[in-house]
Amino acid sequence: MNLETTIGTVVSKAVETLYGLNIELNQIQLQKTKREFEGNLTVVIFPFVKAARKSPEQTGQEIGAFLQQHNPVISAFNVIKGFLNLSISKHYWLETLNEIHANTDFGKTRVTDDSELMMIEYSSPNTNKPLHLGHIRNNLLGFSISEIQKANGWKVVKTNIVNDRGIHICKSMLAWKLFGNSETPESTGMKGDHLVGKYYVTFDKYFKAEIAALMAEGSSEEEAKKKAPLILQAQAMLLAWENNDPEVRQLWEMMNGWVYAGFEKTYKELGVDFDKIYYESETYLEGKSEVERGEANKAFYRREDGSVWADLTGDGLDEKLLLRSDGTSVYMTQDIGTAKLRYNDYPINKMVYVVGNEQNYHFQVLSILLDKLGFEWGKSLVHFSYGMVELPEGKMKSREGTVVDADDLMEEMIETARETSQDLGKLDNCTPQEIETIVRMVGLGSLKYFILKVDPRKNMTFNPKESIDFNGNTGPFIQYTHARIKSVLRKATEQGIDYSKLANTKITISEKESYLVQLLTEFPAVIRLAGEEFSPALIANYIYDLVKEYNQFYHDFTILKEEDFDIKQFRLVLSESAASIIKTGMALLGIDVPERM
């Protein structure tokens, strides 16, 4: 039983004994005491005042006295208006610290054979361009949410749907065929995904020139976009692909192969992975089949031009295209097929799509369509909708080649970490091999932490310069603190000090030290809430608060030079427990922490 439950149970008994009021535990409002007041936990008294028929202050005094008499954990109390502040005994915090220190998986819930399965989809790249900054936020959120849900006891399948077919893919293919002069990743020295992305930009350049020429001849912009030769050729190529034209298929397989090799390197550098990858080229036919079944069952209808639509006006939406007039598929078709295949492949209890908020409508429609097709899990799908990420210069556009490639950004972050660390003297005592390991950890940790510390539902601006700072709410600040603690522990080991556990739990510790232990005890609740809200930011900001509090403790108290052995041992156990939670919390964000800096 945790502390909150223990206190809540005694409060419930107090209210019943004193005032004859029966209340459930979830009706009791318990919160952490504000730092400006004495105490650790605060009970909100106002809900009991009516039954007590006394002032909030008198009611608080009576309940406080009852709690202190009936629970030895409570060492003192005070009442501020309608708030009862409870001080928890130092002995309790010391016993609890021993328990935390002994539990290497503190905060996590064990996954068992009976655990429910959550499938989490993230990344979802197109094979016409390399991954960019927007993909980085998606991948980091998806991976971190997966790790957090595992820590909450879920079985997790991390999945990716690769959008490897469609008109946008044909645009890159066509541009390479017309303007590529047979160049390859080997002949150019470019990563395959970057080479293919180059031709996506090339297509747009020539397509815009054709539009301008047609408009100069008198066509409207809308007409010009429809009859420009390049778009007509791209549409013909898509139709040829769907009809299994061998030449088009061979070109498609070659260029997609280049992209997959490039993606694999990027994912590895970013530190994300997947348990199962689906490909739109393998799922869209299943989707087409389901759309045709829906048409036969009158759930969907076909227009005179041959296109198939869903009428969602009864659901407060509009009409949605499911198959084009030439029979080719749209994204929605593919998502229907992928969803069906996934539920065939796995016993999914919860399906989560990590996709940006510009796709809110798409997933609202997908859920309704799956329900109309008779899939009982249709309406239980979860779209984790996150905000967009921009640079200080503004939005990025793939077609215009103004995106920040993920590979370039990661390389820049690592080099900036190298320069910053060297300037601050953080690497002076490290070997060349250690330097390479550390600057990679710091560079990528800066990037990941800066993105994940923000409420994922909010739009954000990523500023590379701000992210690499050894002070403030940043990855390097947390990483350096972890390295500092490990340095202290190494020196303690060299001095032969045993800090495997507290030998004496009856020592006197300061309010600051007990507050730091209390902060450690909150880790399981933070993991639980982060899982419920799908928010890595809760983990990130908790770890920052812990690190900030530990640094204040480190500044105010001696550790290795403390003359009282029991106090020294306590501070070492406290330090090691803090380091363990920092490492665990950062791992839930996909961030490594160095042993030395």
Q: How confident is the model at residue 329 (pLDDT cuts 50, 70, 90)?
A: confident
Average pLDDT over residues 370-396: 85
Give, to the nearest 10 degrees, the angle between helix 565-588 and helix 536-556: 160
Assess whether pLDDT exceeds 60 at residue 138. Answer: yes
Give the pLDDT score at 41: 95
The secondary structure of 173-194 as a DSSP string is: HHHHHHH-TT--HHHH---HHH
d(CA 262, CA 258): 6
In this structure, the answer to whether residues 127 and 240 fall within a common structural domain is yes
Q: Give a yes or no: residue 106 inside a domain.
A: no
Q: Please give the mean pLDDT across all residues of the chain.
A: 93
Stronger pLDDT, 363 or 330, i.e. the higher one? 363
Residue 42, helix vs strand vs coil: strand
Give the pLDDT score at 276: 97
Give the pLDDT score at 514: 95
Assess whether pLDDT exceeds 60 at residue 460. Answer: yes
Give the pLDDT score at 1: 60
Q: How confident is the model at residue 125 (pLDDT cuts 50, 70, 90)?
A: very high
Q: Which residues contact 92 (CB under 8 A, 6 or more apart)?
A: 3, 73
Q: Give a yes or no: residue 96 inside a domain.
A: no
CB 268 within 8 A of CB 318: no
Give alpha helix (H) positions in 403-463: 406-423, 432-452
Q: Which residues contact 451 (CB under 8 A, 6 or more apart)?
A: 136, 137, 140, 389, 460, 462
In this structure, the answer to whether residues 348 and 450 fall within a common structural domain is no
Q: Centre a 10 Å sphere on the Cβ of residue 347 and count the other Cβ atoms it contains.
A: 9
Average pLDDT over residues 288-298: 94
What CATH number is given to the structural domain containing 195? 3.40.50.620
Assess whether pLDDT exceeds 60 at residue 215. Answer: yes
Q: Give a yes or no: residue 204 inside a domain.
A: yes
In this structure, the answer to whether residues 347 and 421 fall within a common structural domain is no
Structurally, the chain folds into a number of domains equal to 3
Give the pLDDT score at 399: 43
Domain end (from 390, 418, 444): 390
Assess whether pLDDT exceeds 50 at residue 529. Answer: yes
H or E segment and range at residue 31: strand 30-32
d(CA 230, CA 174): 8
Query: Which tens digits make up the pLDDT trace of 501-515?
Result: 998 999 999 999 999
Q: The domain containing residue 48 runs over which residues? A: 3-88
Query: Which tens digits make up the pLDDT trace of 258-287?
Result: 999 999 999 999 999 999 999 999 999 999
Best CA proximity match to 281, nearest among 251, 242, 254 = 242
Residue 307 — left, alpha, or beta (φ > 0 → left; ψ -120 to 50 → alpha)?
beta
Q: Centre a 10 Å sphere on the Cβ of residue 515 and count the other Cβ atoms it contains.
A: 18
d(CA 433, CA 427): 11
d(CA 478, CA 484): 10
Give the pLDDT score at 203: 97
In this structure, the answer to whether residues 189 and 49 fall within a common structural domain is no
Q: Centre a 10 Å sphere on the Cβ of residue 596 and count the other Cβ atoms it contains.
A: 16
In this structure, the answer to whether residues 414 and 385 fall within a common structural domain is no
d(CA 51, CA 14): 12
Q: Which residues contact 575 (CB under 8 A, 6 or more apart)?
A: 485, 488, 489, 550, 559
In this structure, the answer to whether residues 386 and 415 fall within a common structural domain is no
Domain end (from 357, 390, 423): 390
Give the pLDDT score at 274: 98
Give the pLDDT score at 286: 94
- Lookup result for tokens 């490639």: 405
Give the pLDDT score at 472: 87
Which sign does the torsion angle of CA 345, 348, 354, 355 carry? Answer: positive
In this structure, the answer to whether residues 380 and 418 fall within a common structural domain is no
What CATH number is given to the structural domain containing 468? 1.10.730.10
Give the pLDDT score at 468: 83
Q: How confident is the model at residue 137 (pLDDT cuts 50, 70, 90)?
A: very high
In this structure, the answer to whether residues 383 and 427 fall within a common structural domain is no
Give the pLDDT score at 401: 47
In this structure, the answer to whether residues 418 and 530 fall within a common structural domain is yes
Cα dist from 115 to 527, 531, 581, whole Å: 17, 15, 24
Give the pLDDT score at 394: 52
Stronger pLDDT, 26 or 362, i.e. the higher one? 362
Assess whether pLDDT exceeds 90 at residue 471. Answer: no
Q: Centre a 10 Å sphere on the Cβ of residue 221 and count the other Cβ atoms it contains.
A: 11
| Beta-bridge partner residues of 87 | 76
Q: How confident is the model at residue 110 (pLDDT cuts 50, 70, 90)?
A: very high
**φ, ψ at 301 (rounded to 5°):** -140, 155
| Beta-bridge partner residues of 389 | 460
What CATH number is given to the structural domain containing 52? 3.30.1360.70
In this structure, the answer to whether residues 511 and 375 fall within a common structural domain is no
Percentage of the chain exceeding pLDDT 70: 98
Instruction: Kindly give the pairing relationship between strand 350-356 and strand 382-386.
Output: parallel
Assess whether pLDDT exceeds 60 at residue 63. Answer: yes
Q: Give a yes or no: residue 110 inside a domain.
A: no
Domain end (from 30, 65, 88): 88
Assess whether pLDDT exceeds 70 at residue 477. Answer: yes
> First-to-last CA distance in the chain?
39
Cα R_g (the chain), whole angstroms = 30
Q: Give a yes or no: residue 597 inside a domain.
A: no
**Hey, what are 156's tokens?**
């997790």
Q: Give a yes or no: residue 593 inside a domain.
A: no
Q: Give a yes or no: residue 84 inside a domain.
A: yes
In this structure, the answer to whether residues 133 and 9 fall within a common structural domain is no
Query: Which tens digits make up the pLDDT trace of 394-406?
Result: 554 444 445 688 9
What pTM value is reported for the model? 0.91
Percentage of the chain exceeding pLDDT 90: 86
Residue 503, helix vs strand vs coil: coil
Assess whether pLDDT exceeds 90 at residue 140. Answer: yes
Average pLDDT over residues 344-367: 95
In this structure, the answer to whether residues 378 and 422 fall within a common structural domain is no
Q: Give a yes or no: residue 116 inside a domain.
A: no
